[in-house]
Amino acid sequence: MIDVDASMLGLLHASWQGGLMAVAIVVASRLLGPRLSPRLRGWLWWLVALRLALPVTVQVAVLPTPEETTAVTLPTPIATIPADVQVDVREAEPLPVFGVERFDATVSQANARPSTDPSNKLPLSAIVIGLWLIGAMAIAFRGVLRVLRFRRRVRQMPVIVDGHTIDVLASESQAIGVRRPTLRRAGDLAAPALWPALLGRSAILLPDAAELMSDRELRLTLRHELAHVRRGDAWQRLAFACLRAAHWFNPLVWLAAKHVSADQELACDPMTLRATDASTPPTYRRQRLRLAS
């Protein structure tokens, strides 16, 4: 059986402990620099998510052992009256009762008064749980609404049917080992993006600036987005989006979700730059800066 009050205390404990773990990861990444790789930080973020997702404590009643049981002493039975003793039992006369009508009126007036018993007031735990539910539902509703709106935008984006671009995407998908996503033209986006499908086919969104890319820049761009698919970053982002709604009152959880997204981008760069020559990294950095500007 799950105790609601104990569950809220468990949520608070998990929230501040997960927040401290997130701060420790951020500080360690600043101190260690490249020695703490983005891939390793990604696994550490999963540990933070696991701590934040397991706040419920279950109370189990433990039965006492036979050694811990205490003996119960029965009271001494009352002495019985011998059969040869004569006992004179007479019917008791009823006692006179005075003022019954007045007593009944007093009781009815007392019942009509409003109760001032503090136990009838709304407990503090119920208020806290209500506020937490309101905040969690508001954050979750806003997140779902944003996803649905962007999904509608993605469906309205035209599909890219250029033969060369499709061939490049097919070769890069085969090289990384993922299913080839669809390509859509997103003219209003500042940089290429991935619309992940957790159980379906993802879509890579290319802005209008992608038309000015060279063949190498196009391959690097597509390989970076395919690296997100290969790593399954969408699942981690979904997990932290849910945790952000559950721990909406903790700013450290919001900070953790922000660093998770940044570390995912950094973790995709080694996969993007793999099997390239020495001149590629500066080219790739210039490309990323040009698309972000």
215-236 pLDDT tens trace: 888 999 999 999 999 999 999 9
At residue 288 the predicted structure's pLDDT band, cuts being 50, 70 and 90, is low
Question: What pLDDT does 8 receive?
Answer: 83
Task: For residue 199, give the DSSP letter.
Answer: S
**214 — phi, psi (to 5°)?**
-80, 175
Question: What pLDDT does 126 receive?
Answer: 84
Task: For residue 236, give the DSSP letter.
Answer: H
Question: What pLDDT does 238 receive?
Answer: 95
Question: What pLDDT does 293 receive?
Answer: 42
SS3 assignment, position 206: strand
| Entry pTM | 0.71
pLDDT of residue 292 exceeding 80, the answer is no
Compute the distance between CA of residue 262 and CA of residue 268 in angstroms, rounded to an integer. Answer: 10
Question: What pLDDT does 270 receive?
Answer: 84
Compute the distance between CA of residue 180 and CA of residue 229 in angstroms, rounded to an integer. Answer: 10
Q: Closest by alpha carbon to 177, among 84, 291, 274, 261?
A: 274
At residue 6 the predicted structure's pLDDT band, cuts being 50, 70 and 90, is confident
The answer to whether the CB of 237 falls within 8 A of the CB of 45 is no
